[in-house]
Amino acid sequence: MEPPPVLDTIALPNGGAVQTGYKAPPGLSDPAQVKVPDAAPASVSSYSPNPNPPIVAPDVVDPKTVPPLNKTAIEYNPFMPEVPQAQPKEAKRSETPASQHDVVAPEPAAPAKVLSRANDVSPPANQVQGTHKIINTPRCTLDYAIENVYVGGQPKIEFWATSDAGRTWTQVKDESAGRSPAKLTLPGDGLYGIRIKANGASQPPQPGEAPDGWIEIDTVPPTVRMLPPALGTGADVGTLTIQWVVHDKNLAYDSINIFHSSRPEGPWLPIANGVRNEGSYRWLIPSGIGNEVYIRLEAADRAGNIGRGETHDPVALPQPKVRVLSIERAP
């Protein structure tokens, strides 16, 4: 009786095995004499898991005889489970004392920014934008109080003004003889910082000293230029578009007032008050105003100056037209 062939298997790491074919049984030297069954096991390329794989004892291998593993020579094995690759870890700060490591110089820090009054004494942004006092005369009053008065009487009070943000100072005479409020006369138009010194001995503030307050002198009225008015046509018949150009650095909000008159010398009657400086205003012409009209425009700034502009020539207004429909004998 011929000995049965022996299954040739490969053990898997998970404990199973893969059948790869048949091999000659022990004692049979000629593999050609092995009779392979008709239902041979599937090859590795068409392998499907065997729910009850045979248990094959693995060969005993001496670890000393195993050569080092060459990772680059490992080929892909579809039966081996995928092992996740280790992700590189972020470098952590060593807790070892610095004396045990090479000393690494830190990056140089940015130089400290030093603000000097001598370099930055401009008026605060909110004051430059218009919250400071603006007047249309160089004469002003300044109310003040004296604190920490020592024994010996009233100290001498001096007033100094700067028009270049504290770089230079000019003494301003107080016309009230040392009594509050002080009466000062500033040199002219411009933005001034005022510095008060007690017992200053006529020594000006140092360049860069911050003022105690700000005031602006503006005696120039807004410039007003009238443009030719335009009579409405089509759907705008019966209207007059008044046009202008106004310039002023301190122009007040809603500061345009518009007037009309049938004569160049007036009297002037209001058309609209508190108009925004948008360059035009459409006026609905009232009935019975006459055949022609003059226009005046006034613009005020925050200092109280008023600029005016008028049309030199009268504006001819459209008059109603009468058309005869028929003439009949009276009954």
Mean pLDDT of the chain: 75
Q: What is the pTM of this model?
A: 0.56
> pLDDT tens digit string along 26-80?
665 555 555 555 554 444 444 445 555 555 555 555 555 555 544 444 444 444 4
Q: Domain spanning 125-217: which CATH class is it, in words?
A: mainly beta
287: confidence class by pLDDT, cuts 50, 70, 90: confident
**How is residue 178 written in tokens?**
């040392």
**How is residue 308 written in tokens?**
């005016």
Beta carbons of 161 and 172 less than 8 angstroms apart: yes
The stretch 215-219 carries a mean pLDDT of: 96
Residue with tokens 């390329």: 45
154: confidence class by pLDDT, cuts 50, 70, 90: confident
Beta carbons of 261 and 215 less than 8 angstroms apart: no
C-alpha to C-alpha distance for 244 and 287, rounded to whole angstroms? 24
C-alpha to C-alpha distance for 251 and 273, rounded to whole angstroms? 15
- CATH number for the 223-316 domain, one of 3.90.950.10, 3.40.50.620, 2.60.40.10, 3.40.30.10? 2.60.40.10
**How is residue 114 written in tokens?**
């030093």
Q: Is the dihedral of CA 25, 27, 29, 33 positive or negative?
A: negative
Helices and strands (H, E) in the chain, number of each type: 1, 17
Angle of CA points 249, 241, 297, to nearest 5°: 40
**Cα of 132 vs its chain's centroid, Å:** 26
Q: How far is CA 319 from CA 27, 121, 247, 292, in A?
A: 137, 63, 35, 10
* Residue range(s) in the chain whose domain bears CATH number 2.60.40.10: 223-316
> pLDDT tens digit string along 299-311?
999 999 999 999 9
Strands of 239-247's sheet, edge to edge? 223-231, 239-247, 280-284
Beta carbons of 251 and 299 less than 8 angstroms apart: yes
